[in-house]
């Protein structure tokens, strides 16, 4: 008989999670018109694990990313990222922890219009105070990993939607985040490009051991994830 080690038990999986939400409730709005955007949500994501969260409009997907990313404090519950409880950190430390451990990929890539693909990455390293020769080397490696090495000197208007998403993903990975939060990455893309970006996300999650959470309406890309969770009226099942 084999004895399960810590990482194969539920308890071990929770302990080793890079991102862990426990009993997270988020209430929004005024007292008279309160909305429960998240209702006692539990979620644990291990390094190298790709979780997709789907749900109808208004079910709480953006709220989940905002709370997981420390952009919004929950009304109740805790959010652990890379070993620290974001809910117990003061504003300044929370901002630093977020910057050092969490990467974001936005719905429309949010690239700066005047910068080249390479500069989009370098400016992030600069803002984090980490622009040195190794960051420059890593930027080039990442652009290569997402298939954009040949387009490193192009500006956003010279790139397709899918190419912009690739640059957004490379930028999010530059600071080697433990946790990667991805908001509707395929909403502006056609079928082939959607498949392309989600496969790339899955591959990068595994090779770089990030704990990735992607929220999406797009049911055709869910097969790329290790876990698919449903949000309905703020409840995660
Ligand atoms: N600032 C706010 N004040 C009050 N209610 C809010 C606020 N922001 C969001 N809500 C409500 O909280 C619930 C969850 O919203 P959320 O934006 O997280 O949903 P979503 O699943 O991301 O929706 P969509 O897919 O349309 O972007 C909704 O009922 C929404 O109306």
| pLDDT tens-place string over residues 114-126 | 999 999 999 989 9
Per the domain annotation, does 36 fall within a domain?
Answer: yes
Q: Name residues contacting ligand 1 (CB within 6 A).
A: 28-29, 35, 37, 55, 57-63
State both tokens at 111: 């690239």
Q: Which helix (H) or strand (E) holds 119?
A: helix 117-127
Per the domain annotation, does 4 fall within a domain?
Answer: no
pLDDT at 106: 86
∠ at Cα 183 (85, 144), nearest 5°? 100
In terms of average pLDDT, the best of 1-5, 93-97, 151-155 is: 151-155
Specify the number of domains making up the chain.
1
Per the domain annotation, does 184 fall within a domain?
Answer: yes
pLDDT at 11: 46
Ligand 1 pocket test target in 56, 63, 74 with most atoms within 8 Å of CB = 63
Going by pLDDT thresholds of 50, 70 and 90, the confidence category of residue 10 is: very low
60 Cα to the center of ligand 1, angstroms? 6
Closest residue to atom 6 of ligand 1, CA basis: 28
Whether 191 and 220 have beta carbons less than 8 Å apart is answered as yes
Per the domain annotation, does 217 fall within a domain?
Answer: yes
Query: Residue 144 belongs to a domain with what CATH number?
Result: 3.40.50.300
pLDDT at 15: 53
Per the domain annotation, does 1 fall within a domain?
Answer: no
State both tokens at 77: 């519950």
Over residues 173-228, the pLDDT tens digits come to: 998 899 999 998 888 778 888 888 899 899 989 999 999 999 998 888 999 999 99
């Amino acid at each position: 008989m084999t004895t399960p080690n810590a990482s194969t038990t539920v308890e071990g999986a929770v302990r080793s999670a890079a991102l862990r939400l426990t009993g997270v409730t988020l209430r929004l709005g005024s007292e008279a018109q309160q909305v429960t955007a998240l209702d006692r949500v539990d979620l644990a994501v291990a390094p190298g694990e790709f979780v997709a969260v789907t749900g109808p409009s208004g079910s709480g997907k953006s709220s989940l990313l905002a709370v997981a990313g420390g952009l919004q404090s929950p009304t109740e519950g805790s959010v652990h990222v890379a070993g620290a409880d974001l809910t117990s950190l003061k504003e300044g430390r929370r901002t630093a922890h977020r910057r050092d451990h969490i990467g974001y990929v936005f719905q429309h890539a949010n690239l700066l219009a005047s910068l080249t693909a390479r500069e989009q990455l370098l400016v992030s390293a600069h803002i984090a105070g980490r622009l040195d020769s190794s960051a420059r080397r890593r930027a080039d490696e990442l652009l290569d990993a997402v298939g954009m090495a040949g387009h490193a000197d192009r500006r956003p208007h010279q790139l397709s939607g899918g190419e912009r998403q690739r640059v957004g993903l490379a930028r999010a990975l530059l600071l080697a985040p433990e946790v990667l939060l991805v908001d509707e990455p395929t909403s502006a893309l056609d079928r082939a490009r959607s498949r392309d970006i989600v496969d790339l996300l899955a591959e990068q999650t595994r090779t770089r051991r990030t704990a990735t959470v992607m929220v999406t309406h797009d049911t055709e890309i869910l097969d790329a994830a290790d876990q698919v969770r449903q949000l309905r009226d703020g409840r995660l099942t």
